Chains A and B, each alone.
Chain A
Amino acid sequence: MNRARTAHLTAWLQASPLAAVFALFFVLPLGLVLMVSFWQASEYELIPAFTGQNYLDVFTGCPVTPDGDLCVTFKTYLSTLKFSVLTWLITALLGFSIAYFLAFHIEGTLTQTVLFIVCTVPFWTSNVIRMISWVPLLGRNGLVNQTLQGMGLIDTPIEWLLFSDFSVVLAFVHLYTMFMIVPIFNSMMRIDRNLLEAARDNGASPWQTVWHVVLPLSRTGLIIGSIFVVALVMGDFVTVGVMGGQQIASVGKIIQVQTSYLQFPIAAANAVILLAVVLLMIVALMRLVNLRKEL
């Protein structure tokens, strides 16, 4: 009994620095965001007085403004959701294909490891640099436009290549496909190869095997990857800023702008709403998988 208590104590002593970091820099700040979202503010200071005004301000003119347009908040969320869904679709398809290729078509652990590392290396370089690296390719005088003009396919440069919805989604795919490949590959490597053979022996076509055997068994990886991509895109303000030429709105960007103007209560209210939306999306995904059990 006593020994067990000592063991618990040692375990907690060992875990306590980590727990302290997350208590101080994660749990407490989130609590304060929730609290401040109900505060008032003057131009220079926060006033700890309860109000629901910030939330009302976020939804001013919602759902439809007097002119018949969607209100700013709904528009921004719709645009952010659009980026999420597009990015999710593309990264999931791409991530699944690449993980499948690496896991089932490449023989030999060494080749597999090398090709896998090739995919993950860019993850360790700055996101901003990976974004601006599209400028010389997609810009008005970029390589793509130059090539197309040189081939005589177009007369005037295509304008929507850079600083557009297109370039934002492209950058997201460039940045985040890795977050899909890794967990899906991980799940696929655990699939018993005999199952594939059994499917084949029972007369399944390759496509049927993928659909009825591989896909269900790599569900966990797919869901973990999806959670990452959805959470990253929903909260993003850097990519949308840089790749959208600072012209496209996103929820994260609104929060960032309000913070830089020191409008903390309304920024906090926006953050709470964003958090609620993201949590809803994640909970929906989590219902499909037990994360702890899979590790």
Chain B
Amino acid sequence: MRVIRKKRPLSFWLLGAVFAAFVLFLYGPMFAIFVLSFQGPEGGLTFPMRGVSLHWFRVLWEGIGVIDIGAAFRRSLVLGTVVMVLTVGLSLLAGLAYRKKLPGGTALFYVVVASLIMPSIIVSLGIGLSFRLLDTGVKTLLEAQWPEALDTFTSTLGMFTSGLGAQLTWTLPFGLLIMFAVFNRFNPAFEEAARDLGATPWQSFRHVVLPLIGPSLVGVGMFGFTLSWDEIARSSQAMGDLNTLPLELQGLTTTVTTPVIYALGTVTTVVSFLVMGLTLATVGLWQSRRR
């Protein structure tokens, strides 16, 4: 039933050119630093290539100056995983809540959306400030109750307290919006059928709802991880003493003038793409198994 192809209008070619130029614009520069990270030992920050080697990856592996890139890498990985798990869990729960009557749900929704469009520096400053005030409180309390504990206490600011919270205010809005989209397209007839067949609410959730929305949850997880993995603005004032990889990277942009920074860029981009690839593979596998 194929319709005879109409002649493409001029606008098709013009817009197609815009699209092609845009894709080149998106990927070209990234491809440039990918290529340049394989510069030889004498190579600089710009073209031409002076030899091809893995030299700058070796330099990266050995560490840049005082910064322990390996440790930052592992920290980012662990934090990203925690953020991912929490984002999936909390978004799913909230998504389920919004399917029922949720008094005050609209207000909560607006808070979540407000967080998404709030300039990140303000959120970051606020969280940093809250934990500093909390520090003052804790210190006063310790002074009054356990003066000896005061010596060991430094700060409540940290990766898994303020840092984690800061990142969740960024990942959860995306998660919740995806859940809305998922449940808007969800056919409740499946659940009704399960109920008619005598399933308990838990059984119908576990055996009917969960398998149907599973691939989307994997997508939410991917969002959670990669958003955390690359996040700077929210966590900049809230991470405490130990920085994540992107924060170290941001600091390095002003000090490092060798292709080692491109090597680092290549490595982190590869991790992002690996996560995306794994996610897509998981979703693909899931859907092919269902058929």
Contacts and interface: CB of A to CB of B under 8 A. Distances in A.
A115 interface: yes
28 contacts: A11-B97, A12-B97, A15-B105, A18-B172, A25-B162, A33-B122, A36-B133, A94-B18, A105-B11, A105-B16, A121-B276, A125-B30, A125-B269, A126-B269, A128-B253, A129-B269, A131-B253, A174-B26, A206-B11, A231-B117, A231-B119, A235-B122, A241-B250, A255-B122, A256-B236, A275-B118, A275-B122, A295-B177
Contacts of A177: 22
Among the interface residues A13, A19, A97, which one has the most CB atoms of the partner chain B within 10 A? A19
A208 interface: no
Contact of A174 (B29, B100, B232, B249): B29
Interface string A82-96: 000000000000100
A204 interface: no
A238 B232 contact: yes
B125 A267 contact: yes
Say what secondary structure dominates the interface of chain A.
helix
B276 A274 contact: no
Given A25-B127, A121-B276, A133-B30, A256 B22 contact: no
Contact of A125 (B89, B262, B272): B272
Interface stretch (A49-57, A63-71, A134-142, A187-195): A134-142
Interface of B: 9, 11-12, 15-16, 18-19, 22-23, 25-30, 32-33, 36, 44-47, 89-91, 93-94, 96-98, 100-103, 105-106, 108-109, 111-115, 117-123, 125-130, 132-133, 136, 162, 165-166, 168-169, 172, 176-177, 180-181, 184, 226, 229-230, 232-233, 236-237, 246, 249-250, 253-254, 261-262, 265, 268-269, 272-273, 275-276
B101 A119 contact: no
A25 B169 contact: yes
Given A242-B250, A274-B122, A282-B117, 13 more contacts: A11-B102, A12-B97, A17-B89, A21-B90, A22-B112, A26-B114, A136-B33, A137-B28, A143-B47, A255-B122, A256-B237, A268-B129, A274-B121
Interface of A: 4, 7-8, 10-15, 17-19, 21-22, 24-30, 32-33, 36, 45-46, 94, 97-98, 100-102, 105, 115, 118-119, 121-122, 124-137, 139, 141-143, 146, 174, 177, 206, 227-228, 231-232, 234-238, 241-242, 246, 252, 255-256, 259, 264, 267-268, 271, 274-275, 278, 282, 291-292, 295
B125 A126 contact: no
B29 A14 contact: no
B230 A124 contact: yes
Contacts, number: 265
Contacts of A11: 97-98, 100-102, 105
Contacts of B109: 292
A98 B119 CA distance: 26
Contact of A143 (B32, B100, B262): B32
A135 to B, nearest CB: 6
